[in-house]
Amino acid sequence: MQDLLRDIEQKYHALGQNPETYLQGLLLSEPVNYWDYIQVDTLLTLQKPRTGFKDEFIFIVYHQVTELVLRLIRHELEQLTCGALPEPAVFAEKLQRMVRYSDLLCNSFSIMNQGMSYEDYNQFRLALAPASGFQSAQFRYIELHSTPLDNLIQPAKKAVMPAGISLREKFQYLYWQDAGFDRATGAKTLTLQQFEARYLESFIALAAQMEGHNLYARYQLLEQKGSATDMLRQALRDFDSAFNVRWPLVHLQTAHTYLGSGQEEKAATGGSHWEKYLHPRYQQRIFFPGLWTAGELAAWGKEEGA
């Protein structure tokens, strides 16, 4: 006990604080309860259906769970891309965590694909326009942490993109712009307009911050130092495949269930051409292209049953 008290005193003296203040605070503190620590009561009040269809509750909870899993991926990415360059073993370990989180996203889609009434979904979804899963900002933050901005621009767009344009201007060529472009009017959809109004500045700031520090750049630094391992390379490939191929394909399967299984194909609430946009062959979102062979890049998405 004396050693513990000494360590506590040393900790708070080093911070320029009075240890007795913190000890008195501990004496006055209430025990920690699970429901307070996890904020269960608050968490369970965050579901706000807009219609009377019971399965809308499932739809909301599922997407909230998805956002929490995406936050876990971001949590690991923030550690890998900020601060000192991690050791290869730590790098690989955190990537393996991200693969498990991505696997969770893939496996969880059965909740949507098999757990909602087809008829109810195609009614309550009409009350959600122009909202769309496309507007998940965390998805974009993960992309910007993972790879240089140019890797989020499809080859066809790169071919027409002017040379020497600014980072800000490059955002108008990113692959996901296709999902927010109204081909009938030639203008951005309301879904994309609202999304960019809310998040574009934060995306641009993060992209600037990640130049030379994103996940791919950090891996390349380890390669230059000769310290990258086969385990690390495989972990990067596994994450690329899980997040950019398997998850979009499972998402696409679910979209087919609810939007493409009737007599006529239905539009997404955000107005995107969902079948083309969701497919990894069209997205061509590849975080670590140097880790794949030319044949693997040409077959991106095809080997997963596409």
Q: What is the pLDDT of residue 276?
A: 67
Q: Which range of residues forms the domain containing residue 188?
A: 51-304
| Helix, strand, coil percentages for the chain (3-state, nearest 5) | 70, 0, 30
Residue 254 belongs to some domain of the structure? yes
Return all residues near 112 (Cβ < 8 A) that are at least 6 apart. 58, 59, 62, 254
Return all residues near 136 (Cβ < 8 A) that are at least 6 apart. 66, 67, 70
Query: What whole-number distance in Å separates Cα of residue 149 and Cα of residue 159?
Result: 15
Q: Cβ(188)–Cβ(181) under 8 Å?
A: yes
Query: Which strand (E) or helix (H) includes residue 68?
Result: helix 55-81
Q: Which structure tokens are listed for 78?
A: 């923030």
Within 10 angstroms of residue 124's Cβ, the number of other Cβ atoms is 20
Is the C-alpha dihedral spanning 215, 248, 178, 185 positive or negative? negative
Q: What is the pLDDT of residue 185?
A: 84
Q: What is the pLDDT of residue 233?
A: 98
**C-alpha to C-alpha distances, 265 to 21, 54, 122, 178, 255, nearest whole angstrom:** 66, 24, 12, 19, 10
Residue 6 belongs to some domain of the structure? no
* Residue where the block lists tokens 């007599």: 263
Residue 40 belongs to some domain of the structure? no
pTM: 0.89
3-class secondary structure per residue, 18-36: CHHHHHHHHHHCCCCCHHH
Query: What whole-number distance in Å separates Cα of residue 207 and Cα of residue 148?
Result: 8
CATH number assigned to the domain comprising residue 110: 1.20.58
Per-residue pLDDT tens for 31-44? 999 999 999 999 99
Total structural domains within the chain: 1
Q: Stretch 27-54: mean pLDDT, rounded?
A: 96
Q: Which structure tokens are listed for 166?
A: 């600014």
Residue 8 belongs to some domain of the structure? no
Among 148, 152, 138, 155, CA closest to 65? 138
Instruction: Tell which wins on pLDDT, 252 or 169.
Output: 169
Per-residue pLDDT tens for 198-234? 999 999 999 999 999 999 999 999 999 999 999 999 9
Query: Which strand (E) or helix (H) includes residue 69?
Result: helix 55-81
Q: Which structure tokens are listed for 237?
A: 């490939």
**C-alpha to C-alpha distances, 262 to 59, 66, 121, 265, 290, nearest whole angstrom:** 20, 27, 13, 7, 41
Q: Stretch 19-48: mean pLDDT, rounded?
A: 95
Residue 143 belongs to some domain of the structure? yes
Q: Is 221 exposed, middle or buried (0-12, 13-18, 19+ CB in 10 A)?
A: middle
Whether pLDDT at 304 is above 50: no
Among 284, 203, 291, CA closest to 244? 284
Q: Stretch 266-274: mean pLDDT, rounded?
A: 54
Per-residue pLDDT tens for 150-201? 999 999 999 999 999 999 999 999 999 988 887 778 789 999 999 999 999 9
Q: Stretch 268-294: mean pLDDT, rounded?
A: 80
Query: What whole-number distance in Å separates Cα of residue 149 and Cα of residue 65?
Result: 27
Whether pLDDT at 24 is above 90: yes
Lowest mean pLDDT among 132-141, 166-175, 243-252, 277-286: 277-286
Q: What is the pLDDT of residue 224?
A: 97
Residue 201 belongs to some domain of the structure? yes
Query: What whole-number distance in Å separates Cα of residue 285 and Cα of residue 281?
Result: 8
Query: Which strand (E) or helix (H) includes residue 187?
Result: strand 187-188
